[in-house]
Amino acid sequence: MTTVPTEDLQTVTLTVNGSERTVAVPPHRTLLDGLRDEVGLPGTKSCCAEGECGACTVLLDGKAVNSCLVLCVEAEGHEVTTVEGLSDGGLTDLQEEFLNAGAVQCGFCIPGQVVSAEYLLRTNPSPSEPEIREALSGNLCRCAGYQRIVRAVQATAARRNGQ
Amino acid sequence: MTTAPERAIEQRDELGLPADPFGSGQVGKPVLRYGGGDRASGAQRFVADLVFPGALQVALVTVPVGCADLLGIDTTAARAIPGVVDVVTPADLPSPMPRFGVSHVDRPVLADGRVNYHGEPVAAVLAETADAAQAGARAVVVDYRELPGVYSLDAALADGAHLVQDPSIRPGHALAETNVLEEAHYTWGDVEAEQQRADVVVENTYTFPMVTHFPIEPGGTVAVPTDQGGLDIYSPVQHPYLLQRTIASVIGLPLNQVRVFAPDPGGGFGGKQNPKLEPLLAFLALRTRRTCRIVLSLEETFQSMRRAGCRISARTGFTKDGELTFHLVQADFQIGAYADVAPRVMGKGSYVAAGPYRIPGVRIDARAVVTNTTPSTAFRGFGSPQVAWATESQLDAGARELGLDGLEIRRRNLVAKGEPFVRGESAAAADGEWIQSLEKAAELIGWDTPLPPGRGRGIAVGIKPGATSGLSQSLVRLLCDGSAIVYAGTSDMGQGARTLWQQIVADELGAELDHVSVVSGDTGTVPFDLQTSASRSTVFMGSAVLEACQDVRRRVLELYAESTGMDPSELDERPGVLVTPDGEISLPEAARTALGSLRGEFIGQGTRRLRGKSKHPLGGDAAFYEFNATAIEVEVDRETGELLLTRHVTVSDVGTELNPLQVVSQDEGAAIMGLGHSQMEQLLLDEHGRIRNLGALDYRIPTFKDVPVELVSAAVENHDGPGPYGSKGISEGALLCTAGALGAAVTDATGVVIRDLPLTPERVWTALQHQH
């Protein structure tokens, strides 16, 4: 069922959401493709495929990256966290605050937004509003107008800081 | 631990929302989004996330020009690629080529001998993998001869212009030999006399760019042949029932053989209303007897839908007191290669081209002009933002001549509730106290407070007719344990329709909020809904859901009487309760008693139908009008032309806020979308009609860093709408007049007047350089 001869498939072993996974992918396939099509985690969304919209954001060794700009083979031996890996089935405090703030409309961009915001809060637990805007400026949203996402991040920071 | 609704209620004060108008009910509360958890966690499945083992992947073949005759298609090399199963060209489809369309049946399933826009599919490659399909598409050799296509309004309207559509598509149509698909004309009053009466006359031409919807979810479709010879279609379409009808019609199947599954769209904004590639996928699936799947790239999505660009010339007169006397409009909408719903966009948008004002003499002439460009379709505002840009700017031009400000000129001309603003045969009157929104926007922006140098303010209003006819049907099942299931065919693409149904049913049937679920997105199980557009769902489907609940209550009453031996006349029902001679009992309790040991359920049905008027130019009176006032404060960097929006206020007349959190979020999103076409968005074409800024890298939409420093969204509530509890449609309002408010603010800050959108730094800088 594949057009690529078997010898051209690259075997990639990576850790996804804490579990070691081995996938066989053509060398030109992106981490985004690998996560969605091979690992079976469609929470990471595909939109622009050129690193401009942020819908495909994941954590690679703890850093937020556009998974459409990383080849799957480059992830060999690395650790990836997708939106599915942020929580144990329920919602994280950040995701709850996205809902409370009214930041979630169609929801297609939200997994990427959540991952980017989580990375921000892990690296800067008390971000200012300009810092939030800067950190999330690579994540496009066409529905909600951004303001409520900023509020959600602020509310989460306050919650985590015990305020 | 607090529940989600409780947390939401606690947030009311925090969010600055008004007091709950409905006591303990759920309607009127900022209930959190139905399905929001799945959206935030990544569990929500959009079309591209659905897994169809063994599905054939489809890739489209196109040619790199906007207009060409097709001379031949060589599929040999493509077929030789491992994994390619089939290459389908126009010759493989029925002859004559099947066509479809909303207002005109003009769009071919594959290019019919001629390519009419950049990106029009000329063939389709079907393969076992997406890689093979793409490789196959690249290997198809298309022999074509480029034609001198018309890519602009001027080119399309020039004498002897290339005709985009074959005249035979419009047999007998007076305009068949031109590139004008449809015209609209509205006129009232003694225009000549009103021109004589004017003390001040301003005449200008404005342009509004072609822009693309840019939903974050690109398009996609899956077609699955069924064992019975029918088709299941999966599409993020906003109008699943229209898609069902289109597929049935194009293929020649009864409606029951076409089942449309419509997973929630990842953003629609009008772009996903009407069928695009679904008919092609249907043919491919029937031909191969296999599931066929396509997921578009963002670039292909750009090539499948956009908003009509528009050029508006306006001549407007005022008395020395600032009263409008006449307004003449010529609006040309560049609609693209095929009609889709664009002629209606032209007709409905230009209907309100005189704005919500008291103008004794008006003549509006509008044209839907076809060009060799991506077909345009509905886009939030449906033609109103284009004409509002011109009309609002004309008001400001008049105000400047008269020494009035933007607020005062609108105060003097805005119609009062019940007063006509469209006159003549298709007269329309204001259905709200619209001055309230204007005054509130002015107040929230601090209209009269002084500004530092380099800053300016603008204010504008916008109006959009809601749906003019329609039909929504709903079923509500009250189950024996007091929980309920709503069947409503509204597409929930982010506006939160299902949350409203949940709130209405909870209140009407006395159910816990989280004991109400909603089924939608399946024409095989959910009753008919005409469409999810025109901000109509709350008014139409909301009323149908409400009626279905009332039907359930009547049935509970009847069975309760029967099972207890009471006379029905001794009983009464109200939202959430059954009233007996002994007092009120909750509806779920009454239902349990009535159902007895056999259990079962109550099924209620609701219908909201609005019949149109055949003689009305819009096909009927609008069920309501969306009205918005927007005020913007801007700082202009004279060195770079960049605009910094310091404050942006939007106020919509909403009737009743059924869910204040959703109202405010919808308006904020619309406001920022409006800033997109006002500040940065435009599709640019090259001399071959190709989109130059095809994709997210070159086509810019607002980001977190582009939005106003402060964005304030507010609503006016007079409970005077035709929907449940006095609601009106919302969600398009806040972008109706964004451009007018921003343009006026830039003029206030700098003195320069710019009449072409978007107000990019380059355009502002250039205007500033020519200022003196």
Please tell me whether residues A107 and A37 are part of one structural domain: no
Say yes or no to pLDDT of A63 above 70: yes
Please tell me whether residues A80 and A33 are part of one structural domain: yes
User: What are B438-491's pLDDT values in tens digits?
Assistant: 999 999 999 999 999 999 999 999 999 999 999 999 999 999 999 999 999 999
Please tell me whether residues A80 and A10 are part of one structural domain: yes
Decide if A91 contacts B37 (C-beta within 8 A): yes
Residues 53-112, chain A, touching B (beta carbon < 8 A): 53, 55, 82-84, 87, 91, 95-96, 98-100, 102-111
pLDDT at position A163: 80
Average pLDDT of span A147-155: 98
Q: Which domains does chain B carry?
A: 47-147+219-295 (3.90.1170.50), 309-467+616-771 (3.30.365.10), 470-610 (3.30.365.10)
Residues with Cβ within 8 Å of B196's Cβ and at least 6 positions away in sequence, in order, are: none
- DSSP 8-state assignment for residue B456: E
**pLDDT class of A5 with cuts at 50, 70, 90:** low
Q: Nearest to residue B668, comparing CAs of B494, B536, B502?
A: B494
A142 touches chain B (CB under 8 A): yes
Instruction: Look at B37 and A50 and tell me if their CB atoms are within 8 Å.
Output: no
What order of strands is seen across the sheet that includes strand B572-574? B572-574, B577-580, B583-586
Range of the domain at A127: 93-160
**pLDDT class of B143 with cuts at 50, 70, 90:** very high
d(C-alpha B94, C-alpha B691), whole Å = 31
Of A44 and B3, which is predicted with more confidence? A44
* ipTM computed for the complex: 0.96
**pLDDT class of A2 with cuts at 50, 70, 90:** very low
Please tell me whether residues A77 and A119 are part of one structural domain: no
Say yes or no to pLDDT of B150 above 60: yes
Domain end residue (candidates: A37, A71, A86): A86
> Is A101 inside any structural domain?
yes
* Chain A residues closer than 8 Å to B496 by CB: 105
d(C-alpha B654, C-alpha B718), whole Å = 8
Decide if B270 contacts B380 (C-beta within 8 A): yes
Please tell me whether residues A15 and A74 are part of one structural domain: yes
Domain end residue (candidates: A86, A116, A150): A86
pLDDT at position B315: 98
Please tell me whether residues A143 and A114 are part of one structural domain: yes
**pLDDT class of A88 with cuts at 50, 70, 90:** confident
Average pLDDT of span B511-523: 96
User: What are A12-62's pLDDT values in tens digits?
Assistant: 999 999 999 999 999 999 999 999 999 999 999 999 999 999 999 999 999
Please tell me whether residues A73 and A28 are part of one structural domain: yes
Average pLDDT of span B377-396: 98
Please tell me whether residues A58 and A32 are part of one structural domain: yes
* Chain B residues closer than 8 Å to A140 by CB: 214, 216, 696, 701, 703
Please tell me whether residues A22 and A62 are part of one structural domain: yes
Q: Which of B40, B81, B84 sits opposite A104 (nearest CB)?
A: B40
User: Residue B298's closest chain A neighbor by CA?
Assistant: A48
> Is A103 inside any structural domain?
yes
Say yes or no to pLDDT of A78 above 50: yes
- CATH label of the domain that carries residue A149: 1.10.150.120
Q: What are phi and psi of B147, to 5 degrees?
A: -110, 160
> Is A1 inside any structural domain?
no
Instruction: Look at A102 and B664 and tell me if their CB atoms are within 8 Å.
Output: yes
Dihedral sign, CA of B478, B482, B487, B490?
Answer: positive
**pLDDT class of B583 with cuts at 50, 70, 90:** very high
Sort strands A57-60 and A63-66 into parallel, antiparallel or unpaired: antiparallel
Instruction: Look at A148 and B672 and tell me if their CB atoms are within 8 Å.
Output: no
CA distance B149 to chain A (A): 29
* Chain A residues closer than 8 Å to B45 by CB: 42
pLDDT at position B15: 46
**B558 is a catalytic site residue:** no
A21 touches chain B (CB under 8 A): no
Instruction: Look at A83 and B704 and tell me if their CB atoms are within 8 Å.
Output: no
Instruction: Look at A48 and B135 and tell me if their CB atoms are within 8 Å.
Output: no
Decide if B529 contacts B241 (C-beta within 8 A): yes
> Is A22 inside any structural domain?
yes
pLDDT at position B436: 98
User: What are B368-380's pLDDT values in tens digits?
Assistant: 999 999 999 999 9
Say yes or no to pLDDT of B168 above 90: no
User: What are B82-113's pLDDT values in tens digits?
Assistant: 999 999 999 999 999 999 999 999 999 999 99
Instruction: Look at B131 and A134 and tell me if their CB atoms are within 8 Å.
Output: no
Structural domains of chain A, count: 2
Give the H/E segment covering residue B661: helix B660-679
> Is A62 inside any structural domain?
yes
pLDDT at position B9: 43
pLDDT at position B17: 43
Average pLDDT, chain B: 95
> Is A132 inside any structural domain?
yes
Average pLDDT of span B694-706: 97
Please tell me whether residues A15 and A78 are part of one structural domain: yes
Say yes or no to pLDDT of A128 above 50: yes
d(C-alpha B281, C-alpha B726), whole Å = 42
User: What are B290-307's pLDDT values in tens digits?
Assistant: 999 999 999 999 999 999
Please tell me whether residues A104 and A60 are part of one structural domain: no
How many residues does this entry show for chain B? Answer: 772
- CATH label of the domain that carries residue A28: 3.10.20.30
Sort strands B220-225 and B292-295 into parallel, antiparallel or unpaired: antiparallel
d(C-alpha B735, C-alpha B758), whole Å = 14
Please tell me whether residues A109 and A153 are part of one structural domain: yes
Look up tokens 């830039």; give the residue: B746
* Chain A residues closer than 8 Å to B44 by CB: 107
A150 touches chain B (CB under 8 A): yes
What order of strands is seen across the sheet that includes strand B625-636? B455-465, B625-636, B643-653, B711-716
Domain end residue (candidates: A29, A63, A86): A86
**pLDDT class of B14 with cuts at 50, 70, 90:** low
Say yes or no to pLDDT of A89 above 90: no
Look up tokens 């299931």; give the residue: B485
Q: Which of B83, B214, B266 sits opposite A106 (nearest CB)?
A: B266
CA distance B609 to chain A (A): 28
Average pLDDT of span B590-614: 96
Strands (E), B480-571: 484-488, 516-519
